[in-house]
Amino acid sequence: MKIKHRLLSALLVLLTVITTVLTAGFPAVAYAQEVNTSFVKTNVLDDLRSSSEFNILEYPFDDTGLIKRPSIANFVEYSYSYKESKQGNYGLFVYFYNPQGLTIDTDNKNNKIQLATKYSADGNPTDYEKFDLQFCSMSTEPDYYGLFYKFKIIDHESADGKTILQRVNSNERRYDVSGIELVTEGNETATDYSVGGTYKFTGYVKGCGPDENAESTLVCDVTELETVSLDVRDTSYRMDSVSHLGEGHQNDLHSVYFSVPNSLLERYGALQKIKAEWYEYRTGPVIVTEDKGMYDYLKNYTGTMFTPSGWNNLQYKMFSDYTATGGITSQNAFALWWLALNESELSNDDYDGMGFPIEFFPYLFYTGGESAADYTLTGEELKNYIYNYSNSAVLGYLPTKSGQISADLFAPTEEPITALNAWDIEFGRHYGYNCFEFDAGDTFDMLTYDDTHSGWDKFWDFFLFPPKTDGSVHNIEPIYKVKENDVLGSNAVIAGNLLMNVNDVDDFKAYYSNAIQNGETVFVFRFAQTDYLSAPIAYTKDGKTYTDKAYVASENVFMDFDIIHLTFNRDGVYKVIPAVSNPIDVVGDISAPLDMDEPDMWLIILGVLLVIVLLVIFAPLLPYLLQGIWWLICLPFKGLAALVRLIKDSIDSWQRERKLKKQEKQKQKQNKEV
């Protein structure tokens, strides 16, 4: 239903012109003022009351949320003018109705509003983007404390190179608002509230139009904007084999799942595209140990950057071939992602080949006595540690979460996130903020060790006891529609079908069942493939070395992951629906290296016996084998000698012929003289 606003003449103190509409379930007010540079500072409740149409009885508190839901009580286009000289005071303001009386963290950087930034030829929004919100005021009267919040929308340049001000048409300024995200105190992520509405402003407030002396002609039409609310859950899939990157590496697949009403699919067609955003970082070294003494001693040093002398004075000294930015046995070591250590002062040669000294460790976890080889640190435990870490912040804080998360926990690099295949290269993910649109028609692969390594590589890397090195997965769809057959069988089978963590399957089955009952279709959205790196730690204590009681790992994490909009496709006709979904943090588990377990003694004995048996079997053939090897070694030299002889014989033959010809000429000359 379209609600038309007509110009009203109600003014309070500041010569205000107001247009307004209030309807059941979709309240909206379009409020405008004469040029006033202090408008940011005016009180939210005073602004609302300045309209004769505003009725405070329409906005009661409702602690249960059963009757009244959070919404936009007022949307303001302030002091718009097509004249550049008068655009200095232009701004958009949103008035948030907060019936549950939630305490909003007004300084949080994650308070945002989502608006359309691109339109098709027929006027339908085709792209949406988030804009920051600047807190202006809150209702503070005792009877209405916290009931209303006023924010200014912070304009910025979008992908089209234009700001909101540059994009709007002077004859009709259109603003499509799909949702508003606000962080309440005590919460780590924002809550996204569906406030879908299209606001079309025509005319000008007094002093801003072509005729500066004309009275205000501002009018606003408001229509409801279709949105889709998504309950987004995360999961991950770590392959149980060595990846194509080699020893110590595994493939990680990061996914979310959600459900879409069947009515949308029937009306607009198949789900074709998903636009999403997130902040991506790679952890520093995450250390896990089963040694309680080691943990109790070293936990006092988490977040400490050691000088060479300080490191040497530790009772426990840790080493590993792992590196945060490279692979196993890389010469970069941890100093690459930390700041100030001169690697030459702690060279690998000084420590008898045990690996690189671990000189800084922001993460340290105890297994509770369980074997490190069998212990997995859950993503939830790791996420809680990240939020509660306060030991150091030398590198400052991440540009998200309003300074909650120390950057010391992550590799400080601005380089692009390492692409594992063409699919990643296409989307070009990088450190920090990412925003991409994915198409259901794209596919990608997760390759294992055997795809890029030979049998000899495997022998030299793992000797007789290699971990699993095969099992590649090909043609993975980033947007996957879950079918009934996908959720049949054991949890392990379902996890393999859908490429998800087996520990998430029970929750997923309950989610899927509920969605089916509600007439919804479930989709799995695979948005990133990354490298998981894990390696054993060797450490010394009182001159004794331990090699199988601890490990170190690193993985990518995704903060404030959020779906922006969905695109549906019916016979080539595309429809973009903005999504209302709470941002989530996607943090995977930390698991032991695949080759963490030392082989059992009987396997070692069996291997040695096998080598002896092979030597016995092939001993009679050894002289012939050595003779053949010697023949092969000598063959190129014999060939070279033969070539030299051939060249020498050719030269000798040429010289003899030349000498004979010369003698023949001399004889002929002598005969002529006679």
pTM > 0.75: yes
421 pLDDT higher than 50: no
Q: Which of the residue ranges 227-231, 308-312, 582-586 would you say has the lowest mean pLDDT?
A: 308-312
* The pLDDT of residue 275: 97
The residue-averaged pLDDT of 470-476 equals 94
Orientation of helix 491-498 relative to helix 505-517, angle to 10°: 80
Compute, in degrees rounded to 10, the torsion defined by CA atoms 650, 652, 656, 662. Answer: 90
The answer to whether residue 284 scores a pLDDT higher than 70 is yes
Parallel/antiparallel/unpaired status of strands 191-202 and 219-224: antiparallel
The answer to whether residue 418 scores a pLDDT higher than 60 is no
Residue 349 pLDDT exceeds 50: no
Could you tell me which residues are beta bridge partners of residue 576? Answer: 567
Between 268 and 337, whose confidence is greater? 268
Distance between CA atoms of residues 592 and 462, nearest Å: 17
Q: Which of 16-25, 365-374, 508-517, 560-569 has the lowest mean pLDDT?
A: 16-25
**Token pair listed for 418:** 């390492």
Q: Is the pLDDT of residue 140 over 90?
A: yes
Residue 114 confidence (pLDDT): 97
Report pLDDT for 389.
Answer: 94
Q: Give pLDDT, residue 458.
A: 85
d(CA 478, CA 475): 9
Lowest mean pLDDT among 358-372, 472-486, 614-628: 614-628
Q: Which residues contact 554 (CB under 8 A, 6 or more apart)?
A: 282, 283, 284, 285, 286, 322, 324, 411, 532, 533, 534
Q: Higher pLDDT residue, 606 or 580?
A: 580
Amino acid 37: pLDDT: 54
| CB hemisphere CA count around 321 (13 angstroms) | 13
Distance CA 111, CA 106 (A): 8
Mean pLDDT of 627-650: 76
pLDDT tens profile 31-48: 444 445 578 889 999 999
What pLDDT score does 512 carry? 98
Q: How far is residue 145's CA from residue 100's CA, in Å, rounded to a whole number?
A: 11
pLDDT in tens, 370-407: 999 999 999 999 999 999 999 988 888 888 887 789 98
pLDDT the model gives residue 328: 39
For the chain, give the mean pLDDT.
Answer: 83
Confidence band of 324 (pLDDT split at 50, 70, 90): very low
For residue 321, give every residue at least 6 positions away whose Cβ sits within 8 Å of its Cβ, in sequence order, or none. 248, 328, 329, 355, 356, 535
Q: Over range 327-335, report the average pLDDT.
A: 35
The encoded tokens of residue 576 equal: 């973009």
Flag whether pLDDT at 16 surpasses 50: no
**At a CB cut-off of 8 Å and minimum separation 6, what does 515 contact?**
259, 521, 522
pLDDT tens-digit profile of 527-566? 999 999 998 888 888 888 888 899 999 999 999 999 999 9
DSSP 358-427: ----SEEEE-TTS-GGG--B-HHHHHHHHHH--S--TT-B-TTGGG-SBGGGB----SBPPP-SHHHHHH
Q: Residue 243's pLDDT is what? A: 92
- Supply φ then ψ for residue 528, to 5 degrees: -160, 135
Per-residue pLDDT band at 478 (split at 50, 70, 90): very high
**pLDDT, position 622:** 67
Residues 6+ apart with CB under 8 A from 517: none
If you average pLDDT over residues 67-94, what whole number do you get? Answer: 91
Give the pLDDT confidence score for residue 618 in this predicted structure. 65
Q: How is the chain split into domains, by residue range?
A: 3-225, 233-598, 601-643
* 257 pLDDT tier (thresholds 50, 70, 90): very high
Bigger pLDDT: 337 or 581? Answer: 581
**In this predicted model, which residue has the larger pLDDT, 186 or 252?**
252
645 has a pLDDT exceeding 60: yes
pLDDT digits (tens, 9 = 90+) for 155-175: 999 988 999 999 999 999 999
Average pLDDT over residues 50-76: 90
Residue 289 has a pLDDT of: 96
pLDDT of residue 673: 63
Q: Which residues, other chains included, contact 488 with Cβ-Cβ below 8 Å and sequence gap of 6+? A: 494
Average pLDDT for 443-457: 90
**What's the mean pLDDT in 226-233?**
97
What integer pLDDT is reported at residue 495 of this predicted model? Answer: 97
Pick from 11, 73, 9: which is nearest to 222 by CA? 73
